[in-house]
Structure 1
Amino acid sequence: MYRTLLILLAALSLPSIGVAKEPCVTKDECIEMRNWDLGVAIGWGQKTNPLRDFDDIPVFFIPTVAYYGEHWFFDNGNLGYSLVEQQYFSLNLVTSYSMDRAYFYRWDPSNIFLKRSTQDGVRMLDTPAVINAEPEPVFNSLESRNFTLLGGAEAFIYTPLGVVRLAYTHDMFNVHQGAEAQIKWTYGWHLTRWVFDMSLVLDWKSTNVVDYYYGVRPSENTYWSQHYHADAGWDKGVEMTARYILTDNWDMLFAFRYTQIADEIAASPLLDQDYSSTYFIGAAYRF
């Protein structure tokens, strides 16, 4: 028995679990049950950082580690348990971690093996604030945005027009007591040695999540802590990959993701752009 592996998740360091029940074009698209699946992608790419005065994040070395048993599975740091698995539908209990903390910290799971050049993710502005209608968003050192695991459920619906993923997760350790949800549609096709995948993604973040990561603490800036009020919002994204199969173990890989950040998040003075994009070009090897 095999389960399909969506290599885009590893290439873009996304925390989603990528399980689908599509036929395997080649064996490197699948994970054999009860065997560890190890891989690495080596190349060059970059993830833009929407946070004000934070550096973009280079992407050059991305490991993948996965194991799927009869019910339990582990996929790049996420644990899951399969409750129902039918021909056109499956339901899992899963853990995941938020993408948002990755913008602040080098060693967040979403940024493993990525380099950050600013100390503690913060680079102070030297230019004094200009007094206009509102003060310039200049901040003291940012307080910690702590790591937490999210736990919840995900469902996959398998159709001839692609796979739909529905997921809802909640903070398991009372770090921010927030919740996240996702609606994701993925469609894949192949042409001789080429394999293509495209996804459209909607990611919802609750008010608590938005406030914890993008709200301003009084110690960071007194004015903006009082004038920015967080609210729940939907990020919208598109993901694409193109792979050229060289051998049973080697692929050439191009991956791209674009995220349009929710207006409620983009309004935070911590941000200076309302989008984030990631690209990666390189080679992927499956052991």
Structure 2
Amino acid sequence: MRFHLRINTCLLLVLLSTNAIAQKQQHISTDELNLSVSVGVGLITNPLYGADNIPLVVIPQVAYYGQNWFFDNGRLGYSFLQSKQHNVSFVSEINPESRFFIDWHPQNIFAFKTTSENEILESLHTDSPRQVNMNNIQKRRVALDAGISYFFVKQQQVFSAQLLHDVNSVYNGYRGSLQWQYHHEFKQLTLKSTLGVNYKSAQLNNYFYGLNSAESIYGEIEVGSSWQPYAKIDARWPVDGVNALRFHLAYYDYSAMDSSPLFEHDYSMTAFIGFEHTF
């Protein structure tokens, strides 16, 4: 059985993805490289027709926080307003939508050169009316987004908002999010519960999930803007000073994208269980 590992920078965000001020609440030191690796079993379900689920086996986590600059699992930023409760930062990151379209070989994690299998096909195959296989459309480019993020911390709660626009003119649109996260501890067990909603502009949705006349026998199909809720829970149980049991479960709603014939399912889930080692 052929084993494809689809992975991009957004996979690095799926575990321990928080902001600078929240990280300080979790006692991550500044001016130090924080490196850990989670090894286990998991997957990200791909909601598109003809797509494979994305296996999760080895998930590296890399973070560095200076006095203002920080890098956190693929998210590069600069905090220009910091206080005990408030943080405003300029941030940049790879747009996560491309994770459903791009195949990267596992060696790509270690910077080995590889080639993509996702080629443009000359003919269109449809399984049934209003269903388009994602392997039969043109490749979607990787977009780099940048913008402003704001965080408000109150005891164990973190409220955040961000607004990002693509800076390499891939889809010429923007996306935003509102999120609430609650950190709670039960003896040694640490839990993070998250509720949020993503806003995606029509330009973003049209680029990734719309179809042009060459890709669809139905003619050009556009997808409007969308509000998409999500929920996550993350658990960590320390085994010793450097090892811990890790569990992560997330649900992302895509029901607002029902006008796109690329979608087989109206949701995507992420599930992972394994061990985390901190270096």
Corresponding residue of 1:168: 163
Establish whether residue 154 from structure 1 lines up as the match of residue 149 from structure 2. Answer: yes
Establish whether residue 207 from structure 1 lines up as the match of residue 202 from structure 2. Answer: yes
Alignment of 1:98-177 (within 5 A): 98-107=95-104, 119-120=117-118, 134=129, 136-137=131-132, 141-160=136-155, 162-177=157-172
Q: Is the 8 A contact 2:252 2:269 kept in 1?
A: yes
Change (3 A) 1:186 1:123: farther
TM-superposed CA distance for 1:58, in Å, is 0.9
Q: Deviations over 1:183-202 (max 9, x none)?
A: 01000111111111100010
TM-superposed CA distance for 1:266, in Å, is 2.9
Q: Is the 8 A contact 2:177 2:199 kept in 1?
A: yes
Q: 1:189 is matched with which residue: 144, 163, 184?
A: 184
Partner Cα distance (2:197, 2:222) in 1: 22
Change (3 A) 1:125 1:260: farther
Partner Cα distance (1:262, 1:48) in 2: 15
The one-letter code of the counterpart of 2:14 is S
Corresponding residue of 2:267: 275
Corresponding residue of 1:5: none
Change (3 A) 1:139 1:150: closer
Q: 2:64 is matched with which residue: 62, 67, 90?
A: 67
- Report the TM-score when normalising by structure 1: 0.82
Q: Deviations over 1:63-99 (max 9, x none)?
A: 1111111111111222100111111211001002222
Partner Cα distance (1:234, 1:215) in 2: 16
The one-letter code of the counterpart of 2:243 is W
Q: 2:243 is matched with which residue: 240, 243, 250?
A: 250
TM-superposed CA distance for 1:229, in Å, is 2.3
Establish whether residue 45 from structure 1 lines up as the match of residue 37 from structure 2. Answer: no
Partner Cα distance (2:245, 2:121) in 1: 36
Change (3 A) 1:71 1:22: closer
Q: Deviations over 1:127-173 (max 9, x none)?
A: 8766xxx5654577211210121010100011246110100000001
Partner Cα distance (1:209, 1:147) in 2: 12
What 5-or-longer segments of structure 2 have no aligned partner? 1-9, 111-115
Partner Cα distance (2:253, 2:178) in 1: 15
The one-letter code of the counterpart of 1:286 is T
Partner Cα distance (2:222, 2:167) in 1: 24
The one-letter code of the counterpart of 1:198 is S
Partner Cα distance (2:201, 2:117) in 1: 29
Partner Cα distance (1:195, 1:72) in 2: 27
Between the two proteins, what is the percent identity of the paired residues? 28
Partner Cα distance (2:137, 2:57) in 1: 27
Partner Cα distance (1:167, 1:191) in 2: 30
Q: Is the 8 A contact 1:16 1:96 kept in 2?
A: no
Q: 1:84 is matched with which residue: 78, 81, 86?
A: 81
Change (3 A) 1:138 1:251: closer
Equivalent position SS for 2:213: coil
Q: Is the 8 A contact 2:49 2:134 kept in 1?
A: no
Partner Cα distance (1:153, 1:121) in 2: 35
Change (3 A) 1:121 1:51: farther
Q: Is the 8 A contact 2:76 2:92 kept in 1?
A: yes
Q: 2:212 is matched with which residue: 195, 211, 217?
A: 217
Partner Cα distance (1:168, 1:42) in 2: 32
Q: Is the 8 A contact 1:94 1:151 kept in 2?
A: yes
Corresponding residue of 1:179: 174
TM-superposed CA distance for 1:221, in Å, is 1.4
